[in-house]
Structure 1
Amino acid sequence: MTAPDCFTSELALPYSALNTNGRIKADWLLNLFQDAASHQCHGLGISGFDMAQKGFKWVVSQYDIHIHSHPSWLSNLNLSTWRSPWKNLYEVRRFIIAKKDGQPLISATGIWILIKAVNGKPVRLSPHLPDHLMQPPAEPPELFRVSTPLTEYHHEFPIRVRFLDLDLNQHVNNREYLRWAVESLPEPHCFSYTPVRCKIAYLKEGLFGQDLVSRVRLEFTPTGLDTEHAIVHPEKDIELARISISWSPLTETDP
């Protein structure tokens, strides 16, 4: 993948990206991905600001993040991302964070939808994107399907939507849902496990001042811990997001 198809940037992993276990914050990755995607889309003329002038908004539908190996503080890394349409409705974007020698550490797929600003209805991409950007992806994405509500769970974590949780669309930023899911893992597990895969399905928008809950179901496996999280508006009985996280146990050799 070469320019202009692929956008690449360099970074040194900052101290602010590490959690108390010395591992990369999974939710921090979403800000990194968003910034890289926005930078490339700006150059292509299809950024959120560009589409807003035409009466449209980009909204993220799903993320699938694999943390293959955790980078350490000040690691020199390359971030690469590229986009392709799928079914003339979805904007599929791939991300890879790798060492300078090319060894991939983190890979991810994000899926966006273009909606009308006035009513939130999805639109087809081809009437609103240049013809040269309407090329199908090499491989269809693996979708995270939510078929049933999370009725059985072990823990519930209260959430109040704050002003700083909001994005330019005036609803909860996609990063916050993953942060809420990670924070809802109860003690002592939050200090002894680290996320290695995160699948997120964004279902409804969260708004300022809402009182939400993160409901968590835990399942211990031979290799670690799997958790299922539902971000719910309990008064309206509406699920805003579903997150599935696979966790690996920390060891004495971990940072």
Structure 2
Amino acid sequence: MMKTEHDTAVFTQTGRVPYSHVGMDGYLKPVAVLNLCQDIASRHAFAMGVSALHLAPQDKIWVVNRYHFDFYRFPAWDEVFTLRSWRAPLRRLYEIRRFELFDEKDQILMGSTCAWVLVDKNTGKPVRLSRAMPPELCENDGSIPFDMEEIPLPPDTARTMDFQVLQEDMDYNRHANNAAYLKWALEALSPSELFPCRIRKLDIRYHHDIGPPRSVRVHTTREDTENGLRCVQAIRAADTGELLTGIRMDLSL
């Protein structure tokens, strides 16, 4: 069961890690963390009157541009957690949102920053936030620092794995939800790469979307680091080769 509290600046959600959100190691899955983040962001946007439902009559949609995560510890099954989120505009175009996950002792478990853009559904082009948001939500521009560094892509010789885009991957915007790309990226890694290591840093850069019945092809390269390994991935449309998403993750014990 979740409990949600909010004010005009910070939106807070507390709960326990449910069984359905943990992996075979008994800890919260990375994909579940991303889903918690997008869920609290959606609730906060709804409370401010700028959610996907509010913007649909204007033919505008929110599209995620990129995520950065720092993972310090993954909470275990039934562990109490608190997730906090707040937002600020950047360059009048990006909606920057910060997430911080804490345990019951108020020790930070995860920190994340993401960038969203508002897109005209008819043209597919970004629009200024001021065209859909009240003036008070366009203040404090740039108050949340955000790095727009691009993720390097693996070479054509990288190993590949294909996945079918399923109906259950679709979301309200009628394309594969942003969590699906992380799911495919993790599935493309071998058990020896994922266990006993854990993800410590994760960067995701979204370029284009996709839907069923098409397939995606995940290109993966890995390199050993001092404390573990780094995996760099490109997710492309299997039929056209169009770049959909770039992912970089650092894993260590």
Q: 2:143 aligns with which of 138, 148, 156?
A: 138
Greater alpha carbon shift after TM alignment, 14-23 vs 54-63: 14-23
Q: In structure 2, what is the equivalent of residue 97 of structure 1? A: 101
Q: 2:58 aligns with which of 47, 54, 57?
A: 54
Q: 2:120 aligns with which of 103, 116, 122?
A: 116
Shift of 1:185: 0.6
Q: Deviations over 1:113-132 (max 9, x none)?
A: 00101121100111221011
Superposition map of 1:84-233 within 5 A: 84-135=88-139, 136-146=141-151, 149-233=153-237
Long gaps (5+) in structure 1: 250-255
Shift of 1:149: 4.3
Give me the whole-angstrom Cα distance separating, in 2, the residues matched to 1:120 and 1:106. 33
Task: Evaluate the alpha carbon distance shift between residue 78 and residue 149 of structure 1 in structure 2; reply closer, same or farther with a 3 A threshold.
Answer: closer
Alignment pair present for 1:244 and 2:251 = no
TM score, norm. by length of structure 2: 0.93
Give me the whole-angstrom Cα distance separating, in 2, the residues matched to 1:199 and 1:78. 22
Alignment partner of 1:50: what SS? helix
Give identity over the alignment, percent: 30
Q: Deviations over 1:156-213 (max 9, x none)?
A: 1111101001111111100010111111112422333221111000001111111211
Greater alpha carbon shift after TM alignment, 129-138 vs 188-197: 188-197
Q: 2:81 aligns with which of 74, 77, 94?
A: 77
Give me the whole-angstrom Cα distance separating, in 2, the residues matched to 1:155 and 1:192. 22
Report the AA paired with residue 103 of structure 2. K
- Does the CA contact (< 8 Å) of 1:11 and 1:76 recur in 2? yes
Give me the whole-angstrom Cα distance separating, in 2, the residues matched to 1:173 and 1:198. 17
Report the AA paired with residue 186 of structure 1. S
Report the AA paired with residue 39 of structure 2. D
Q: Deviations over 1:67-113 (max 9, x none)?
A: 11121221111110001110000000000111233211111111100
How well do the aligned residues superpose, as a CA RMSD in angstroms? 1.5
Alignment partner of 2:65: what SS? strand
Greater alpha carbon shift after TM alignment, 167-176 vs 206-215: 206-215
- Does the CA contact (< 8 Å) of 2:88 and 2:144 recur in 1? no
- Does the CA contact (< 8 Å) of 1:155 and 1:186 recur in 2? no
Shift of 1:152: 4.5
TM score, norm. by length of structure 1: 0.92
The size of the alignment, in residue pairs, is: 247
Q: Runs in 1 of length 4+ with deviation above 6 angstroms?
A: none
